[in-house]
Amino acid sequence: MTPSAASSGPGAPGLDIPAVSVTPGDIATTTLTVRNDSDIVEAYDLKVVGDGAEWTTVEPERLSLYPGTSETVTLRLAPPRSPEIRAGELPLGVRILPNEQPESVKVLETVVRIGAFHELRTGLSPRRRRGWLRGRYLLAVRNQGNTPVQVGFTPGQAGEELRFAFTPAEPALEPGESKELRLRVRTARPVWFGDPVVWPFTVDCRETGERAQTEDRTEGPHAGATLDAEFVQIPVFPKWLLLLLAALIALLIAWFTLVRPAVRSAAEEAATQAVQPRPIPTESGSDGSSPGPGRPSGGSSQKPGTGGGPGGGEDGSTGTDDGTATGGGRQSSATIDLKSEAGQSKTGTYTVPEKTVFGITDIVVANFQGDEGVMTITFGDRKITTIALETFRNQDYHWVTPIRIGAKDTVTIDVTCTKPGTPATGQQARECHEVVNVSGALKSTE
């Protein structure tokens, strides 16, 4: 009892089942007629075999036929839209197994023609790039079709301000293959000033080559994609730099128009005073007699730097006068040397001599041991500063405009010693030791 099968409709020569064509993602059907030529009632099991068995079904899968009868079954082909289903011819078979006579099993074969489909997946990152002249992008492309393709790229821009370069220019991709390309965008000229300029552009991804042109004529447009992106061209000189340059130019103009003439006038005045001739002492004194040995020509027995200079102060303060004449008096300085034990507060002063005004321009404070505590500096009744001793070893202050102290007023330092420091000898000192030097011009009020 051998089953026989006949195909409905025209088929290829030598085939038991007609050839069928199907495109992945679509559904195609064909029929198969099974006839029982035996003399007994027979049941038949039908099963699809071959590479396309996983996406092909037969309906019904089981037949029961009386002798001399036949029945038609349907083959339903539904290949998925995947690069794994390559375009071309694929063999397919249907196994017919009789239950009563299994030795009479038969396999009917056919050819499935898999149609080609095209699909490109593309991506561009980043979509927005900033730069002075050029920007670099990464272009990813994947062949989701079932045939090998060659991909080309066409940039688009409203004007002609941008230049494009793809590396590689036209990659070849097998089904399911992915590649990454480099895209470089360059502007024709820089933007020197102003706001950033935004250049939008597009990239069209299309299949190229003879195969794509042939498929265009026979099957319609092939797959492609259009990507949108932007290149933001930033100016070479940003706004904040222009504002800074404008401020610098304004400062230079102010210097040349206001400050520089005043400085030059002061320098010319100082130069004029320096070259003025000094009075030459006469051969005779004021009483008509000749000056004796060791007697000053002016008739005064006072030594320079005494009488009119700064006087001594309390707690080790001393004053000196170098005798240098300035436009504001004689240049003078005074030193206050103060020692105090731990936990003790002590004051050191320097007193301005009578009939003088002391114009202070500089202070130098020395804490050479690294003592810890607090120091307050006062000019007369005016507090100048309060500083922590542990924050410095040497500190200096300077004033362009002198701070004037009248006669008998004092320069005072108040020191509260918390902990004596360690001098260069490496042994901790027994007491705090601070030195303050003030200097400036001492001018007579007479």
Question: Which domain, by its residues, includes 48?
Answer: 3-114
Cβ neighbours for 314, distance < 8 A, ≥ 6 positions apart: 347, 348, 349, 351
Please report whether residue 45 resides in a domain.
yes
Same domain assignment for residues 161 and 83: no
Q: What is the largest CA-CA distance in the chain?
A: 177
**In the numeric block, which tokens belong to residue 49?**
């075999």
Sheet containing 224-233, strands listed edge to edge, beginning at the edge strand earlier in sequence: 128-131, 224-233, 197-208, 149-157, 172-173
Q: What is the CATH number of the domain that holds 162?
A: 2.60.40.2310
Rounded CA-CA distance 167/400 in Å is 66
Please report whether residue 189 resides in a domain.
yes
Same domain assignment for residues 324 and 392: yes
Rounded CA-CA distance 156/200 in Å is 9
Helix (H) or strand (E) holding 251: helix 239-254
Q: What is the CATH number of the domain that holds 85?
A: 2.60.40.10
* Cβ contact 223:175 at 8 Å: no
Number of domains within the chain: 3
Same domain assignment for residues 137 and 179: yes
Closest CA to 397 of 378, 379, 384: 384
Q: 405, exposed or middle or buried, with CB in 10 Å at 0-12, 13-18, 19+?
A: buried
Q: How far is CA 349 from CA 374, 378, 408, in A?
A: 16, 9, 11
Rounded CA-CA distance 131/230 in Å is 11
Same domain assignment for residues 364 and 422: yes
**Report field, pTM of the whole predicted structure over 0.75:** no
Per-residue pLDDT of the chain (446 residues; tens, 9 = 90+): 334 444 433 333 334 688 899 999 999 999 989 999 989 999 999 999 988 999 999 999 999 999 999 999 999 999 999 999 999 999 999 999 999 999 989 999 999 999 999 999 999 999 999 998 899 999 999 999 999 999 999 999 887 889 999 999 889 999 999 999 999 999 988 888 888 989 999 999 988 865 655 554 334 334 568 899 999 988 888 777 777 888 888 888 888 887 666 666 666 666 565 555 544 444 434 344 444 443 433 333 333 333 334 444 445 556 655 555 445 678 999 999 999 999 999 999 999 998 899 999 999 999 988 999 999 999 988 999 999 999 988 999 999 899 999 988 999 999 999 999 988 888 888 899 999 999 999 998 88
